A and B are shown apart, each in its own frame.
Chain A
């Protein structure tokens, strides 16, 4: 109905208008994800470095909402389980002191699934060194590494550039599914850095396909601290395989980090300058500049 003032308005369907349809509408309105599903979602986002936990827990005298409580409980169960699965799937050379990581994850979940702690527990530096999992990046001279969150953010960044009709980023979708992608072990088990099993997707016939974009960069990130040359090689592999990939910024960040660790300062400067030309508004620009200094 278009009122006289030109504003469009429309009344919603009422029970008297279409009782059976109204009943069905009510049925659909009542559908909700349960606490387990929401907890799993919160945990999976946390693994990507995206915190959806409240910044502060309920203060004294303020009871947490039901949903918040459900999230905490859900993440408390799903988070540690998922992290344990990730640890199980990680290649042997990178397995950290499990107790420290699991304890970190559990304490993070208990504290309301603080994603920073969870994502840093997932990060190779804290795993390998068993160092403090949270808020230690500035004080701890841990080797550089890109985070899952970094990878995701840029995937989203790239996806943002896609026209609206294509926006719901395929790259993000593929990235988000890495953790649950069906996998097989790699042929290159003798390699200094063994690609994570998630890097190689299997077909129904068990034929090994090429690694996904995010999995390749994740392997590069994992290799960064222990074997920067291998990390650099993996970024080159990414360049060859995904010339128009959605995660070019992440690749460059890892490559420049690897070059810095290898002491190739001239290459760092060159590549950092190129990065700043190519991605002037990149969220990683500050990090790249820091590496170039």
Chain B
């Protein structure tokens, strides 16, 4: 019986990788927390973030050998955006809630500050949920993940000027939402998520 190598063979991690291509472990260590965060900001509920992050890593594992080495962050966030998009699409079909509780604050020593931070985060998440998918992705990647315009362009697969326009439009929409909330003087201006 010929030996079977199915257990050990991992094509994406094989010798195809160039020296400049990071290993899967390096990507996991350096980028997973940010991809996880981006998923939530792109509309994946915190409770689903692990599953969706797993999908990202599976896709990365499979495609890493074909990564061209141009922009790792753009490539990774591109996968992240697609996974989140697919999730949101399927979640809409299932009529699931798109946003829910956030992860716990990293350091809740100051409870008041932590609560304030969480309230702000919820307000922004609620405002983000009013954006269309394209504007949301552009805004999240540029303003929260702090990618460059070029990286955002690669991640979302749109020209620079389109990304530029989307970010500007998203900013205006979010500013308006925050202003309306301030005028109303209550949290009802922007419906709280969760």
Contacts and interface: CB of A to CB of B under 8 A. Distances in A.
Query: Are A and B bound to each other?
Result: yes
Interface of A: 2, 8-10, 12-13, 18, 20-21, 23-34, 37-38, 40-42, 44-45, 48-55, 65, 67-68, 71, 116, 119-120, 123, 135, 137-138, 141-147, 149-150, 152-153, 155-157, 159-160, 164-170, 172-173, 176-177, 253, 257, 260-261, 283-284, 286-287, 290-291, 293
Given A33-B36, A137-B8, A260 B1 contact: yes
A290 B8 CA distance: 15
A287 B32 contact: no
A31 B6 contact: no
Interface string B151-175: 0000001001101100110010011
Interface residues of B, number: 74
10 contacts: A20-B182, A21-B124, A21-B178, A28-B37, A30-B106, A31-B103, A52-B25, A144-B1, A173-B51, A260-B2
Interface in B11-54: 11-13, 23-26, 28-29, 32-33, 36-37, 40-41, 49-51, 53-54
Given A38-B33, A67-B29, A150-B9, 13 more contacts: A10-B168, A12-B146, A27-B124, A31-B102, A33-B33, A37-B36, A52-B24, A137-B8, A144-B3, A145-B4, A168-B82, A173-B51, A283-B11
B33 A67 contact: yes
A176 B55 CA distance: 7
B180 interface: no
B28 A42 contact: yes
Interface string B103-138: 111100000000001101101110000000000000
Contacts of A287: 4-6, 9
B10 A50 contact: yes
B59 A20 contact: no
Contact of A21 (B59, B79, B174): B174
A181 to B, nearest CB: 11
Given A8-B149, A160-B63, A170-B86, A144 B36 contact: no
Nearest to B171: A13
A51 B26 CA distance: 11
Contact of A24 (B11, B82, B121, B149): B121
